[in-house]
Structure 1
Amino acid sequence: MRGLFMVTRRQFILHYVPAMGLGCYLQPSAASEATPLDVNDPKAKALAYTEDANQVDAAKHPRFKAGQDCEACQLYMPTGDSWGTCSLFEGKLVAAKGWCTAYQ
């Protein structure tokens, strides 16, 4: 018999983790419902998002360094082979080989 405040690990993950703001990392279904980010989206344009980091003009974006791409960024969470989510673009998928000026 469980005590009054005992919960199973599953109950904790399903009910308390999302309340702590960590649910986005534990709900892959949300990522599967996301659509790819349009490079013409106003926020994507403001951050100079591109789906191919090899196409970035280093003269235009001096912070860009060869080898930087979304997949190596701290804001990126992989969801599949070549796409993932970014905390800057909620509800959208970004290309793993993409880049934007918010790269970290």
Structure 2
Amino acid sequence: MRTILLLIISNSFMTYAWYGHLKHTETALWKVILLSWGIAFFEYCFMVPANRFGYQEGFSGFQLKTIQEVITLSIFALFAVFVLKEPLRWNYLISFLFLIGAVYFMFKK
């Protein structure tokens, strides 16, 4: 459970670092890059322990990456809808269903 929680925190930082500037396109690009790089530091402070703990707890590298991708897309979907004010279209939902299928097969013994 701590792996999942750390991945959620990590991906929240990274989503903001990568996409938070999109509503402020008047800011100089070099400033955005430096700010995003600074925010990404905190992403790494959570991502590295999440992966280490997860691996020690029995997740494979493939499983950790799959979990991370699902969390990333889930957090991004919320960010896009609530921060960027973009619509959540039906085809996005279908793609998420395929991701759930990928998770199922990743963890199937």
State the TM bucket, normalised to the shorter chain: under 0.3
Greater relative contact order structure (CA < 8 Å, 6+ sep): 2
Structure with the bigger percentage of strand: 1
Greater gyration radius = 1
Structure with the bigger percentage of helix: 2
What TM-score does the superposition give when structure 2 sets the normalisation length?
0.21
